[in-house]
Amino acid sequence: MNFLRRILHSRFLRIVVIVFIVLWILSLDYSGNKQPFTYGVSFSRFHSDELKLDWRETYLAILDDLKVRDFRFSAHWPLTEPEEGKFNFSELDFQIKEAEKRNASVILAVGRRLPGWPECHEPKWLKNDEKETRLLNYITEVVNRYKDSPAIKYWQVENEPYLTFFSRSTCGVLDEKLLEKEVTLVQQLDSRPVLVTDSGEFGTWYKAYNQGDVFGTSLYLYIWNHKFGPLRYPILPSFFRIKQNIIRLFNGPKETMVIELSAEPWLLQPIASTSLDVQLERMGPDKFNEMVIFSSKTNFDKFYLWGAEWWYWLKLNGHPELWDQARSLFSSSH
C-alpha cells in the first residue's frame, strides 16, 4: 500500500496526467468544419494502364457516372516527355478539357516523384548529370501549358517528398534545395497555390507544411507488410486531429486536405495478379465505408480518394459494389 501511495503521489504520475490532458486538448476539433465534405479522386492514365483499362472510358465514367467534380491528375514525366525535348500532352489535354466542360476543379501534380509505384518516375533518356536542368524544364513546360485553364485550382509539386525511407531505393536521398527550386519556379510561373504533401502516418508534416501554400496528407489504415503480413494501423481519428492542431499552433493556419484517402487494397503484387477474394478482403465495401467514416472525424473537410480506376476495374469484372458506394458518396458531396 505504501508503494502504491508513493506512485500515486509521484512526479511521474503527475507528468502522465499532464501529458494526457494536453493530448486530449490537442485532439479536439477546433476547425468548426462540419458536413458537407468535399470528395474528389486521384486519376491517372498511368494507373489505368496498369489495370489494362481504356483510360478515356474510365475517366469519362468517373466524370459522368460517379459525377466526380474534384480531381488530382499527375503529369508523369515519362508519359509527358517520352523523348528528350519532345512533349506529349494529348492525354492531359483531354483530361483538362473534359474537366473544363463540367466545371470540375483540378490539382495537377508535377515533378519526379508522383503518385504510383515505383514512387519516382523518370524517362529512360534522362542522364544523371542533367537531372536538375531537365526536371525544371519539364515542370516549366507543363505549368505554362495549363496555367490558363480555369480548371486548375492547385499545383502539386512532388508527392510526399519528405517520406524518404519508403522510397530511398528508387528515389535516392531527397535534395531539399532542388525541391525548394521546384516550388519557387511554379510560384513564379503562376499565381495559383502550390500544394506540398506528406505522409499521414509517418510524416512529421512541418517541412511540407512550411514549404507550400497548401498542405496535403495521406490517410491509410490497411497495409500489407512483407514481414508482418496484413495490418491495420492502430490509430484513431484523434491522431490526425492532434497532428493538425500541433502544426497549426506552431506554424499558423493554412488550407489543408487529405490528398490521398486509401480506397484501394494495399497488396504485395499487382492487382491483376491478385485474386478477387484477396482484393475485396483487403478493401471491400465494409472497409471502404470505414475509411470514409474515419476520415470524416479527422478535422479535414476535403478528401481525394485513391482507387477510382480499381473501382471501375471491379465493376467490369462483375463487382460493382464499390463503384455504387462511390456514386452515393459523390452525389452527397455536391
Listed range (34-38, 63-67, 109-113, 307-311) with the worst mean pLDDT: 34-38
| Nearest-angstrom CA–CA distance, 8 and 11 | 9
pLDDT band at 194 (very low <50, low <70, confident <90, very high): very high
pLDDT at residue 20, rounded to an integer: 45
Give the residue-averaged pLDDT of 242-265: 96
Beta-carbon contacts of residue 263 (< 8 Å; ≥ 6 apart): 283, 288, 291, 305, 306, 307, 308, 311, 322, 326
Chain segment 273-289, per-residue pLDDT in tens: 999 999 999 999 999 99
List the one residue out of 284, 273, 272 whose CA is nearest residue 313. Answer: 272
CB 199 within 8 A of CB 181: no
pLDDT at residue 19, rounded to an integer: 44
pLDDT at residue 25, rounded to an integer: 44
| Nearest-angstrom CA–CA distance, 203 and 136 | 26
| Nearest-angstrom CA–CA distance, 308 and 320 | 12
Taking 60 as the threshold, does the pLDDT of residue 4 lie above it? no
Give the residue-averaged pLDDT of 34-40: 84
Give the whole-number percent of the chain exceeding pLDDT 70.
89
Q: Average model confidence (pLDDT) for the chain? A: 91
pLDDT at residue 37, rounded to an integer: 93
**Angle, CA 203 vertex, CA 198 and CA 205 arms, to 5°:** 65
What stretches of the chain adopt beta strand conformation (E)? 38-43, 70-74, 105-110, 152-157, 194-198, 214-219, 222-225, 229-232, 256-262, 302-306
Q: What are the counts of helices (DSSP H) followed by strands (DSSP E) for the chain?
A: 15, 10
pLDDT band at 2 (very low <50, low <70, confident <90, very high): low
pLDDT at residue 321, rounded to an integer: 98
pLDDT at residue 138, rounded to an integer: 98
CB 294 within 8 A of CB 305: no
| Nearest-angstrom CA–CA distance, 24 and 176 | 34
Cis peptide bond prior to 230, omega within 30° of 0: no
Sign of CA dihedral 101, 104, 105, 109: negative
Beta-carbon contacts of residue 93 (< 8 Å; ≥ 6 apart): none
Its CATH class, for the domain covering 38-332, is alpha beta
Three-state DSSP state, 228: coil
Domain residue extents for the chain: 38-332
pLDDT at residue 203, rounded to an integer: 95
Angle between helix axes 321-332 and 308-316 (nearest 10 degrees) is: 140
